[in-house]
Amino acid sequence: MDSLALLNSRLLDNLRVQDFAGFDPFDSLNSRLLSATPLYRNNFIRLAWLQLGKRSPVNLRPFLGVPKKRNPKGIALVISGLVNDYHRTGENHFLVEANELSGWLLAERSNVQEWGYSCWGYHFDWQARAFYVPAGKPNIITTCYVARALFDLGKVTGDQSLIDVSLDAARFISRHLYTEADGRSFYAYIPGESAFVHNASLWGAAWCGFAGRTLGDEALVEQALRVARQSAQEQVKDGSWVYGERHHHKFKDGFHTGYNLEALCILRDALQTNEFDECIAKGYQYYVETFFETDGTAKYYDNSVYPLDMHSFAQAIFTLLKVGGTAADVELCERVVQRAIDLMYRPSTGLFIYQKTRHFTNRINYMRWTQAWAYCSFAFYNRFRVELDNAQD
């Protein structure tokens, strides 16, 4: 086993010790201290409390009564990593562990009686500027990542029930998240909310297009195409996208741009269409030219390297290899992996750092945001390298 595979194996062992549970940047509203007071009912207090937990470099959660918990998206990322480790090694214990975790995900579905289809949300209440989302209310990003992980696991194990659940999630997205507002057609982030966010809408389009083609549902395919065309039309001339249409969403960052490109590629491949080729090519050129330093450091924003965030490095691995894949892209990805280890890895703990700013380092151990993304992306990279080496022999 090479050094990177050993590093990732150690990270997986750390996750196992914690039973794949942990803290999250956005979980502060799980505080037993806050929920015991009437202040919890105030939107401003909830938003400020959540931001305090997210921005503080000191982990206040143990003092605020925030428990460590499993997160459905984090578990989905771990399952995806385990499936990649199985493909790389052929060792069946990875699939056994993935199957055990899939059982937890099935049990953690949002209320099927309420929503009618399989879907997932976060394990914490979430207060945004414009709305409040209670724990368990389904959202499009968690649902898409869980659906993809269950589908891939079902395919490799031959478990049709997992495949059926994963495809059923597209029905939830189509029925409850498809939105027409302000002259746009898109998938919303959560039911009942009309904010247009490109990465959320495109991930929904990717999964609905994939599921629609798999199920032979052309109405679902056409809806997915209509949604994807909306984001393609709103791509800036230089190939970029802002995060979303609201005034506080006018930023451009690396990992959400990577989300957009990966989603468009999934849709393109599922439908065997060249409709989005120019959009992908322009977006990928912008991505590579904008979000990396020459040494492979993955930038957070288009106009700032900081904060350095493992999430940016992890998504870069997927984008460079799945959207790019040329020799130059692979070489850049190798630099990205090395910089992630140099800048973000802590050999003393076997874990990755959450963020570095110009002035301080936040070492809080976040399961979903940091460690699960690191494990999943490195597992994919390790598999890619083995398959590339075998193809060249």
What are the residue boundaries of the structural domains of the chain, listed by start?
109-290
Identify the pLDDT of residue 128: 80
Q: pLDDT digit string (tens) for 146-175? A: 999 999 999 999 999 999 999 999 999 999
- CB-based contact 344:392 (threshold 8 Å): no
Looking only at Cα atoms, what is the longest distance across the chain? 66
How large a percentage of the chain has pLDDT more than 70?
99
Predicted structure pTM score: 0.97
- Nearest residue to 313 via CA among 132, 321, 195, 224: 321
Identify the pLDDT of residue 244: 87
Instruction: Specify the higher pLDDT residue, 246 or 18.
Output: 18
Identify the pLDDT of residue 224: 98
Query: Once rounded to an integer, what is the mean pLDDT over residues 344-352?
Result: 97
Query: The tokens of 204 are what?
Result: 């929904």
Burial class (CB in 10 A: 0-12, 13-18, 19+), 4: middle
Query: Once rounded to an integer, what is the mean pLDDT over residues 332-361?
Result: 97
- Nearest residue to 376 via CA among 317, 303, 289, 288: 317
Query: Once rounded to an integer, what is the mean pLDDT over residues 344-348?
Result: 97
Tell me what the pLDDT averaged over the chain comes to.
96
- CB-based contact 320:276 (threshold 8 Å): no
- CB-based contact 377:317 (threshold 8 Å): yes
Confidence of residue 1 (pLDDT cuts 50, 70, 90): low
What 3-state class would DSSP assign to 116?
Answer: coil
Residue 49, amino acid = W
- CB-based contact 320:330 (threshold 8 Å): yes
Fold of 109-290: Glycosyltransferase (1.50.10)
- CB-based contact 115:176 (threshold 8 Å): yes
Query: Once rounded to an integer, what is the mean pLDDT over residues 6-35?
Result: 96
Identify the pLDDT of residue 9: 97
pLDDT at 300 over 70: yes
Of 21-25, 31-35, 91-95, 105-109, which range is least confident?
31-35
Distances (CA, A) of 179 to 130, 189, 194, 363: 17, 10, 7, 39
Q: pLDDT digit string (tens) for 186-237? A: 999 999 988 999 999 999 999 999 999 999 999 999 999 999 999 999 999 9
Confidence of residue 107 (pLDDT cuts 50, 70, 90): very high
pLDDT at 239 over 90: yes
Distances (CA, A) of 256 to 20, 240, 266, 326, 365: 25, 11, 15, 22, 22
- Nearest residue to 348 via CA among 14, 3, 60, 2: 14
Identify the pLDDT of residue 183: 93
How large a percentage of the chain has pLDDT more than 90?
90
Identify the pLDDT of residue 246: 85
Instruction: Specify the higher pLDDT residue, 42 or 259.
Output: 259
Identify the pLDDT of residue 372: 98
Write down the residue that tokens 């389904």 correspond to: 138
pLDDT at 132 over 90: no
Identify the pLDDT of residue 256: 98
Query: Once rounded to an integer, what is the mean pLDDT over residues 340-349?
Result: 97
Identify the pLDDT of residue 339: 98
- Nearest residue to 123 via CA among 102, 112, 107: 107
